[in-house]
A and B are shown apart, each in its own frame.
Chain A
């Protein structure tokens, strides 16, 4: 199970405010808190205007690297920003993200091919977000063909099947879980990731829907989660689900995480 801590993202109002005010202490604290909460990667996304994105990324990455040893997920819709940002990182992290939109994936894969960086890949293309499982899997196979071309092992990939809001879906999450199952069937060592809270847009009591989604997605094969690790209920739910799936011998991971305070009674 891989936890990608999402809190350092300028799109979150409190983080956006800290970035605008250059409040380094606020960012530093988010890095430390997420580390203590068991994050495997600290996502860093500036979410600012293009002309100051790179300098903002540098400012954020420097603060995070000073605060924690947890690797960074360099996160930008602009692939060049990700490529430039990864050069600033002291250790290999997660490239977040590529897709089959344009020729971004070539630039990105060229940059990480001979490194230990892992990579998030979204299942959209120039045609947008595919509506059916089959179309998403077509994009997936195109991505895997690129992996092969650049010699990137599937185990370095975190495929994001694209989680969309539940409230306008006609089949719940069945299409997404089908995609997840097919991906894992084709490449057992690959990771499947996603921004968990997308599921609950426009619903009340979002944390409940988020948890239900996490359980079912995990059961389908999702093993990498972009979320707020400070949410102890969610973290407990993930550890419990992992144990229920028979992937936690003697519940030692569950007990260990409880003891570390990652979730509580």
Chain B
């Protein structure tokens, strides 16, 4: 027997070895899978906020996400076929000419933990690859483009504008060390997040979740 509060504490403290059993315990106690999942998503929101505030460090965010995925593994068979849990699909990649993946991976992890189905295109992704991915995947509601180099800022612009030309209503979020909110607005992106911790909150806000 476990409570959602226990599951949440285990996620927030990154106890990946214990979360699975606690989630199972919560299910056994008759708690709804959806409310357990919501609890874990809420925890990752807290983790993201703490990271953005500088209270916790990257590895702590990593192990929290890892812990959550252990919990989700237990919920998956119970919730199979239940699409109500997804916020939709997000296509993400680091733009052409840029090979940085750590920041992008952290954002993928945080968005996944907040309820998006993630399609990770990897690094050095040409602009039209983002468009193709929107076409090929179901229910894409968000495109996320990462750029870590000042020299790849033009590629970021091209990626955003190519997606917008093909899908004018698609929400596009950008980020990366040299990116500023002003630059994001200038190249036509809908949103900007300064770090992985705040990316999930911004992404949800953009799609009105």
Residues on A close to B: CB < 8 A?
250-252, 255
Q: Which 8 A-B pairs have the closest CB atoms?
A: A250-B59, A251-B59, A250-B63, A255-B57, A250-B62, A252-B59, A255-B60, A255-B59
What residues of chain A lie closer than 8 Å to B14, measured between beta carbons? 250, 252
List 11 other contacts, CB 8 Å, given A250-B59, A252-B14, A252-B60. Answer: A250-B14, A250-B60, A250-B62, A250-B63, A251-B57, A251-B59, A252-B59, A252-B63, A255-B57, A255-B59, A255-B60
> Least Cβ distance of B196 to chain A in Å?
15
> Least Cβ distance of A259 to chain B in Å?
9
Interface residues of B in 1-49 (CB under 8 A from A): 14
**Interchain CA distance A252-B67 in the complex, whole Å:** 14
> Least Cβ distance of B66 to chain A in Å?
9
> Least Cβ distance of A248 to chain B in Å?
10
What residues of chain B lie closer than 8 Å to A255, measured between beta carbons? 57, 59-60
What residues of chain A lie closer than 8 Å to B62, measured between beta carbons? 250
What residues of chain B lie closer than 8 Å to A251, measured between beta carbons? 57, 59
**Interchain CA distance A250-B60 in the complex, whole Å:** 8
Q: List 13 A-B contacts (CB under 8 A).
A: A250-B14, A250-B59, A250-B60, A250-B62, A250-B63, A251-B57, A251-B59, A252-B14, A252-B59, A252-B60, A252-B63, A255-B57, A255-B59
What residues of chain A lie closer than 8 Å to B63, measured between beta carbons? 250, 252
Residues on B close to A: CB < 8 A?
14, 57, 59-60, 62-63
> Least Cβ distance of B105 to chain A in Å?
14
> Least Cβ distance of A144 to chain B in Å?
36
A256 nearest CB neighbor, chain B only: B60
**Interchain CA distance A10-B60 in the complex, whole Å:** 42
What residues of chain B lie closer than 8 Å to A252, measured between beta carbons? 14, 59-60, 63
What residues of chain B lie closer than 8 Å to A250, measured between beta carbons? 14, 59-60, 62-63
> Least Cβ distance of A115 to chain B in Å?
33
A250 nearest CB neighbor, chain B only: B59
B59 nearest CB neighbor, chain A only: A250
What residues of chain A lie closer than 8 Å to B60, measured between beta carbons? 250, 252, 255
> Least Cβ distance of B134 to chain A in Å?
34
> Least Cβ distance of B202 to chain A in Å?
26
> Least Cβ distance of B61 to chain A in Å?
10
**Interchain CA distance A252-B66 in the complex, whole Å:** 14
**Interchain CA distance A255-B58 in the complex, whole Å:** 10
**Interchain CA distance A255-B57 in the complex, whole Å:** 8
**Interchain CA distance A106-B146 in the complex, whole Å:** 67
**Interchain CA distance A75-B104 in the complex, whole Å:** 54
**Interchain CA distance A255-B60 in the complex, whole Å:** 9
B66 nearest CB neighbor, chain A only: A250
Most chain B CB neighbours (cut-off 10 Å) among A250, A252, A255: A250
A258 nearest CB neighbor, chain B only: B57
**Interchain CA distance A252-B59 in the complex, whole Å:** 7
> Least Cβ distance of B109 to chain A in Å?
13
> Least Cβ distance of B57 to chain A in Å?
6
B55 nearest CB neighbor, chain A only: A259
> Least Cβ distance of A44 to chain B in Å?
36
**Interchain CA distance A252-B62 in the complex, whole Å:** 11
**Interchain CA distance A195-B188 in the complex, whole Å:** 63
**Interchain CA distance A250-B57 in the complex, whole Å:** 10
> Least Cβ distance of A253 to chain B in Å?
11
B57 nearest CB neighbor, chain A only: A255
Most chain A CB neighbours (cut-off 10 Å) among B14, B59, B60: B59
> Least Cβ distance of A244 to chain B in Å?
14
A252 nearest CB neighbor, chain B only: B59
B63 nearest CB neighbor, chain A only: A250
> Least Cβ distance of A120 to chain B in Å?
34
**Interchain CA distance A49-B37 in the complex, whole Å:** 68
What residues of chain A lie closer than 8 Å to B57, measured between beta carbons? 251, 255
**Interchain CA distance A250-B59 in the complex, whole Å:** 5
**Interchain CA distance A251-B60 in the complex, whole Å:** 9
**Interchain CA distance A251-B58 in the complex, whole Å:** 10
**Interchain CA distance A69-B188 in the complex, whole Å:** 62
**Interchain CA distance A255-B64 in the complex, whole Å:** 15
> Least Cβ distance of B102 to chain A in Å?
14
> Least Cβ distance of A140 to chain B in Å?
38
